[in-house]
Amino acid sequence: MDRTFVMVKPDGVQRGLVGHIVSRLEAKGLKLVGARFETLLEPRVNDQYKEHLEKPFYPSLKKYIMGGPVFLMVWEGRNAVSIVRKLIGATNPQEAAPGTIRGDFGIDIGRNVIHASDSNESASREIAIHFKTADISSYTRIDAAVIYEY
């Protein structure tokens, strides 16, 4: 099984969307194996968004991400990264399909509700930024036999 990192951003938390997002991912058949609610500090934000550090929009992105609590999660499932990316939709909510998280809940690219890893490599890196191995649970969902073909 693969793992991926998902973060409900401050706008998603403020709007009370955490439960909706968790529910959608669980209903798809993904398994929540780690979660934490906190306000991120600058060193971890810089690690999380290291590819954007030199971009002109980074200062406002950093201020936004550090401006309120976020909900950090690790999800597990077969092809978890690609499944979650499809469920959240395009980065720009105006281009995100209806039925996706961003398509249903976002309007502006600067407040797009959610972040999810875009590759297995990014998922490993991002999970390591926010979670220790001991923070991640291992268990079998009771419905795994009806979700997956073995």
Instruction: Give me the active site residues, please.
Output: 115
- Alpha-carbon span 137 to 86, nearest angstrom: 25
Which of 121, 138, 134, 150 is CA-nearest to residue 36? 134
Task: Give DSSP secondary structure letters for 127-147.
Answer: HHHH--GGGS-----TTHHHH
Which tokens is 68 given?
Answer: 């309120």
Q: What are phi and psi of 88, to 5 degrees?
A: -85, -30
Give the residue carrying structure tokens 């490599």: 121
